[in-house]
Structure 1
């Protein structure tokens, strides 16, 4: 592995033990100043979510209640950070915190009603989107897809930071996003134009199953954390990912459900058509199969992503899917990624989610990614082996090219 010209955070011992990587203290001014340059003259607000937003956001009542860890981090690290000098240092105004009704689904469209800390009901469409330059959405469920659509209409920039916790604040949001962007671009260049990717999964019983994804030579995209300039855009933070929108897919891949049940999914023509039990609860498998039968769009693969950062496990997919050596698939809407799957294509609104399926040692210890291979024209490359970046990717990260 060519470590001589690699940054210290990509050294062999850090790759093996990412928890040993040292990070500077979280600095909100540095984070926002880097991600959103320029910030001078921008009006900013913070959005968060509750089941009962009118009651809980008024006078910050949620601070007196048990639970709401993400919302409390939003208040502590972002609201107070802006109010206690951050706005002045960044040359920004505003800093209000508002709440909308929790969607209970990843990337579902938001209801229009929103409430401020005085208890007033406002409209996202009329009172928020047109009147803020920067919107920070720190929520339970991701709002990247709906905010990406709205920013193109109203012209704002922003970031989605769902699931924020102390580990994320101290690592994935403490990094230098210029470096993150540079590394993401190096990996993007190493993969862009890929015709196909194959992923071999090794199960506990020794079986190896393979998923094939047809990419059609498309240009790879990156989630790199920078949302600079005046162009409307939404950054997903923590960032650090190279991704594709699959044009075709077939084969099999394993899935670990929320209750721990393990299944093997069969894919044909880009769609998951069935799940079969490996171990656990057959009822969980039956429920998934029933959902696939009722609304087949819920099984359509909308993303293939690769992490680009060396970060500790946070036990929140928003960070853990950005870890170098991991990859993930996603089902459902992908319009925010430039894909063709939009909410209107689903039978029910609540089904129009974008759901990541992360393959990582801590998340899926019951199976291994034995190998990920890329074909690009006459070029065949190994990208990942045993949840570690292969030589090809490490060579790409070691390049000194101006990217």
Structure 2
């Protein structure tokens, strides 16, 4: 694999051992200044979530309670960072922290009630969204979809950083997002207008499952971390992803459930029809099948994504799905990605999630991404082999491939 014209973080030894990549120290001023340029004159706030927000956010009571690692990291790295010089250096005002009720689902709409650190109840629609230029949502569950919808109404910019931890601060949020954006665009050009993608999954028993996704020649999109200018937008950080909204899908792919159960999912017409047990708990499979029967929209595939960065495993999908050589599918709402699946299409509000299914060596060690292939007109390219970017993508990152 040629590496002479590649950045050092794409060298062979770093690709094999991304944990050895060297990162600069996390710098809040550099991060916000790069992502949100310009920041001068902007008013910024932080949103976070609790099961009981009124009592826990008042006087920062959560800081003296056990648990709440994401919220404590939000206070330490972002709230304190803003108050201790970043606001002044970036020419911003505000820096307040607010809490809303935990949604218990990825990308579910937020309840309107929110509380400030004095314990006062406020309204997101009336008091927060119209009053801030930049909103940083550092939460347990992703709020990218609801905030993307709200920013178009109220005109703010922002970022979602759910699952924040020390590894993410020291790697995925310490990188130069101008470089991340450049690499994401190179990969986007290498894949944009693809007609279809096929993914071969190799199981431990040697079986090969193949999932086919019809993309219809659509323009690929990118999550690249830059939310610059004055256009309302929400960045998902850490960023570094090229993605499509599937128009069709069929075949089979494996699924590893939260309890470790392994299943094979059958897909047709973009929808998961059923799950069958490979190993583990049959009750887990039965629950998934019952959910699919009760509300078929929960099994609709809404995203196909590819990571573009070289990052260490953080054990949080927000970063780990951005790693070069991995790919992911997602079920559920995709309106924030330009798709046609909206919350109103689900039987129950709590079903209208956007749930990523990440395929990565640490996440799914029981099966291998044997190969990912792309068809674009008469062009046929291998994108990934054995969780490694294939030559075509490496050449693209070196600047020698594109649309």
Q: Which string of whole-angstrom CA distances, capped at 9 and with x for unpartnered residues, describes residues 10-62 of structure 1?
A: 00000000000000000000000000000000000000000000000000000
Q: Distance in 1 between matches of 2:59 and 2:124?
A: 20
Q: Distance in 1 between matches of 2:317 and 2:151?
A: 24
Q: Distance in 2 between matches of 1:250 and 1:396?
A: 28
User: How far 1:401 moved relative to its partner?
Assistant: 9.0
Q: Distance in 2 between matches of 1:39 and 1:388?
A: 37
Backbone CA RMSD of aligned residues = 1.0
Q: Distance in 1 between matches of 2:220 and 2:400?
A: 20
Q: Residues 393 and 335 (structure 1 numbering): CA distance in 2 closer, same or farther, change over 3 Å?
A: same
Question: Partner of 2:130: helix, strand, or coil?
Answer: helix
> Do residues 36 (structure 1) and 41 (structure 2) align?
no
1:100 alignment counterpart: 100
2:223 alignment counterpart: 223
Q: Which string of whole-angstrom CA distances, capped at 9 and with x for unpartnered residues, describes residues 90-109 of structure 1?
A: 00000000000000000000
The question of whether the paired residues in 2 share the 8 Å contact of 1:266 and 1:274 is answered with yes
Q: Distance in 1 between matches of 2:162 and 2:83?
A: 21
Q: Distance in 2 between matches of 1:56 and 1:401?
A: 52
1:320 alignment counterpart: 320
1:213 alignment counterpart: 213
1:350 alignment counterpart: 350
User: How far 1:381 moved relative to its partner?
Assistant: 0.1
User: How far 1:402 moved relative to its partner?
Assistant: 11
2:13 alignment counterpart: 13
Q: Which string of whole-angstrom CA distances, capped at 9 and with x for unpartnered residues, describes residues 153-204 of structure 1?
A: 0000000000000000000000000000000000000000000000000000
Q: Distance in 2 between matches of 1:402 and 1:292?
A: 39
Q: Distance in 2 between matches of 1:164 and 1:11?
A: 27
1:378 alignment counterpart: 378
The question of whether the paired residues in 2 share the 8 Å contact of 1:98 and 1:114 is answered with yes
The gaps in structure 1 that reach 5 residues or longer are none
1:299-338 to structure 2, matched below 5 A, reads 299-338=299-338
1:266 alignment counterpart: 266
TM-score, normalised to structure 2, is: 0.99
Q: Which runs of 4+ in 1 moved over 3 A?
A: 400-403
Question: Partner of 2:129: helix, strand, or coil?
Answer: helix
2:151 alignment counterpart: 151
User: How far 1:75 moved relative to its partner?
Assistant: 0.0
Q: Which string of whole-angstrom CA distances, capped at 9 and with x for unpartnered residues, describes residues 103-135 of structure 1?
A: 000000000000000000000000000010000
Number of equivalenced pairs: 403
User: How far 1:400 moved relative to its partner?
Assistant: 6.8
User: How far 1:391 moved relative to its partner?
Assistant: 0.1
Q: Distance in 2 between matches of 1:171 and 1:383?
A: 25
The question of whether the paired residues in 1 share the 8 Å contact of 2:190 and 2:401 is answered with no
Question: Partner of 1:131: helix, strand, or coil?
Answer: coil
2:118 alignment counterpart: 118
The gaps in structure 2 that reach 5 residues or longer are none
The question of whether the paired residues in 2 share the 8 Å contact of 1:274 and 1:292 is answered with yes
The question of whether the paired residues in 2 share the 8 Å contact of 1:299 and 1:331 is answered with yes
User: How far 1:2 moved relative to its partner?
Assistant: 2.0
TM-score, normalised to structure 1, is: 0.99
> Do residues 165 (structure 1) and 165 (structure 2) align?
yes
